[in-house]
């Protein structure tokens, strides 16, 4: 409302007033900058790709600091009656712009470091499953659903090189995904949410068949607690969480087999 309704309306009303052409140019630049700030903030909240990288914030802040503020200052300082007001307002503009600049992440964590945890979890899962076969159709179905979810997330994940990713390739190749929120394509046709809901139902059934709280797979404190909120998490976090669920399943099955 501020960026797309109030600011444009204010510009239209102000331009109808009599005044120097230079003031209207400064006003137009300020309005465009305000709209840019509003859109970049909204994009950050909604995880738009152009806003997620911080580039939009950086461009907006740069225009404010190096274009708008100098134009506003030098146009206002020429007027004796507005000299003091221009200086005070310009200082405030600089302070606000620098505050906005401090919120930009210029040195994000190396994505390769973030991938190491997932790769190690996958390797550990494979070691745990050595000489261990799915003991029932339900266990096999849970593992199959987990693999489908991971493959779907990787399919829609952004990679450094733009390559298509498969779960089995991630630990043996140089492919690196960039951690980001789950893409809307993950929910295309409801397939992603349907798989997560089906996984939750299967794990709930599994927990009902096993004895001992220690052998049950945790649901409430996992991403399956409320599948409709999964888009709040990053793709890498969901990948790790799914793999950890599989590891919990393997450990539970081994424990139950040992008891038998």
Q: What is the pLDDT of residues 240-257, one digit of tens each?
A: 999 999 999 988 888 877
The residue among 132, 119, 168 whose CA lies nearest residue 258 is 132
Q: What would the mean pLDDT of 78-90 be, rounded to a whole number?
A: 89
**Is pLDDT larger for residue 77 or for residue 231?**
77
Q: Place 96 in a pLDDT band, splitting at 50, 70 and 90.
A: confident
159 has which bridge partners? 177
Sign of CA dihedral 241, 242, 247, 252: positive
Query: Which residue shows structure tokens 């793999």?
Result: 243
**Is pLDDT larger for residue 29 or for residue 156?**
29
Is the pLDDT at 34 greater than 70? The verdict is yes
Q: Place 115 in a pLDDT band, splitting at 50, 70 and 90.
A: confident
Q: What mean pLDDT, rounded, does the chain reach?
A: 81
In this predicted model, what pLDDT tens digit does every residue of 173-221 receive, in sequence order? 666 777 777 766 666 667 888 899 999 999 999 999 887 777 888 888 7
> For the CA atoms of 141, 146, 151, 153, what is the dihedral angle to 10 degrees?
140
């Amino acid at each position: 409302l501020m960026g797309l309704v109030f600011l444009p309306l204010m510009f239209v009303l102000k331009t109808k007033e009599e005044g120097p052409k230079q003031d209207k140019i400064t006003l137009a630049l300020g309005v465009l900058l305000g709209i840019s700030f509003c859109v970049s903030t909204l994009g950050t909240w909604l995880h738009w790709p152009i806003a997620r990288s911080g580039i939009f914030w950086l461009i907006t802040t740069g225009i404010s600091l190096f274009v708008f503020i100098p134009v506003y200052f030098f146009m206002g300082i020429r007027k004796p009656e507005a000299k003091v007001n221009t200086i005070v307002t310009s200082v405030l503009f600089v302070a606000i712009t620098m505050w906005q600049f401090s919120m930009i992440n210029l040195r994000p964590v190396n994505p390769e470091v973030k991938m190491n945890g997932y790769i190690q979890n996958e390797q550990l899962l494979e070691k745990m499953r050595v000489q261990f076969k799915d003991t029932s159709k339900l266990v096999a179905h849970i593992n199959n659903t987990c693999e489908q979810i991971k493959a779907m997330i990787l399919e829609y994940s952004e990679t450094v090189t733009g390559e298509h990713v498969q779960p089995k390739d991630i630990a043996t190749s140089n492919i690196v995904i960039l951690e980001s929120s789950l893409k809307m394509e993950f929910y295309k046709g409801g397939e992603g949410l349907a798989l997560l809901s089906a996984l939750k139902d299967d794990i709930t059934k599994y927990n009902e068949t096993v004895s001992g709280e220690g052998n049950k797979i945790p649901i409430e404190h996992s991403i399956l607690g409320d599948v409709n909120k999964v888009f709040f998490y990053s793709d890498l976090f969901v990948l790790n969480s799914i793999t950890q669920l599989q590891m919990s399943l393997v450990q539970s099955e081994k424990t139950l087999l040992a008891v038998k």
